[in-house]
Structure 1
Amino acid sequence: MNRALLVIDVQESFRRRPNWAAVSAPDIAGRAARLVAAARAAGDLVVWVLHAEPGTGGPFDPDLGHVRLMDGLAPGVGEPVLTKTSRNAFTTTGLAQLLTSRGIGEVVVCGIQTEQCCETTARLAADLGYRVTFVTDATATFPIEHRDAPPGRPLQEILADPATLPADQVIARTEYALAGRFATIASLDDLAPAQAPATGPEAAAVG
């Protein structure tokens, strides 16, 4: 085992925010689960990371009970669960020490948000000397308002604003920034190929 899958912030907190309706991948939990299954089958370490903002009273405040994995995801026996308070998964956790103790030299990154916690984790991992694979379509993000936009606008107004950066452009910019510098860009099919539907006599026998 010298590779670890980092599942970053695929947590209920995001589903409690109004902008969840505009998320790029509503099925992100299922996408992450597919990667987890492939990692376990390959004998890779799976590391679960959650984000917490204690004392804020918002969806990332642990006291509200939403700092937990989305339905359909659960750590296996021996799979570490770390809680961070920084954007990247290293600074406020013992992730680096954990990976070193397990002899990990390569990390695979997936989760929420593409350009924030996932990208910053990939950048720092590369700086620390890890080989990094960034599974873009197993990350999710949201449209970003322009920095001069007034605060507190409803989601529909944000989405209608031509100055808002659409989620697909956010994702594309992350790929441009990471590729060839900090990470190898991969797809879900690259790491966890979908099984082809059965054909022939075996398929006819099903059901």
Structure 2
Amino acid sequence: MSQVLLIIDVQPSFDPPQWLLDGIRKIVGKLPSVATVERHDESKTPFEKQLGWHPAPDDESLIDADRIFIKHGYAPSIETIEYLKSLKVDRVLVCGLQTETCCLAAGFALFDAGLQPTLITDLTVGSSLDRSGALGVRLWEHHFKHTVRSDEL
């Protein structure tokens, strides 16, 4: 099965736990990898105006992926999705931060693009609403069905 790893927003602004960094780094290099970095630009996404906070405008990925794409807002950029489609993979493995928001948004974008999003359930962290990520995993299973654990890869 051909697959690619999509790493969502593992960056300083979101203070990822060390276990997440270590777990993702064990997989990077074993298959093609793409990372997203969410940067703040109020003219593109009104985080400050609507939510009273925002990610840094200059964050970098904490994971050395093969390709890194900048995004503004929850979902991956069109360029990210087009790149993933160009790889002609059987599935896109998703891991990273904000299971029930940014990871879920990536799942919808991948699904809508005709790709098979598959969440790596033990390599994701939820938002401040549910740091365990359990809510996001349940939503993912409901909408996209496909999940795996890192030890199954």
Structure 1 length-normalised TM: 0.61
Contact kept? 1:131, 1:183, Cα under 8 Å: no
Contact kept? 2:126, 2:134, Cα under 8 Å: no
Contact kept? 1:83, 1:93, Cα under 8 Å: no
Which structure 1 segments of 5+ residues have no match?
Answer: 16-22, 145-165, 192-207
Percent identity reads 24
1:98 and 2:83 are equivalent in the alignment: yes
> Residues of 2 paired with 1:180 and 1:7: CA distance?
21
Match of 1:60, as an amino acid? A
2:70 to 83, 86, 96: 83
- Number of matched residues? 144
> Residues of 2 paired with 1:14 and 1:176: CA distance?
22
> Residues of 2 paired with 1:142 and 1:6: CA distance?
18
Match of 1:13, as an amino acid? S
How big is the shift at 1:48? Answer: 1.5
> Residues of 2 paired with 1:182 and 1:141: CA distance?
17
- The correspondence of residues 1-207 of structure 1 with structure 2, limited to 5 A, is 2-15=2-15, 25-36=17-28, 40-41=29-30, 44-54=31-41, 59-62=55-58, 67-70=59-62, 73-75=63-65, 79-89=66-76, 92-144=77-129, 166-168=130-132, 171-179=133-141, 181-191=143-153
> Residues of 1 paired with 2:68 and 2:23: CA distance?
19
Cα RMSD for the two superposed structures: 2.3
Deviant stretches of 4+, over 4 Å: 55-59
Give the 3 Å change call, closer, same or farther, for CA 172–2 of structure 1 in structure 2.
Answer: same
Structure 2 length-normalised TM: 0.80
Which structure 2 segments of 5+ residues have no match?
Answer: 43-47
Q: Which of the two has higher C-alpha Rg?
A: 1
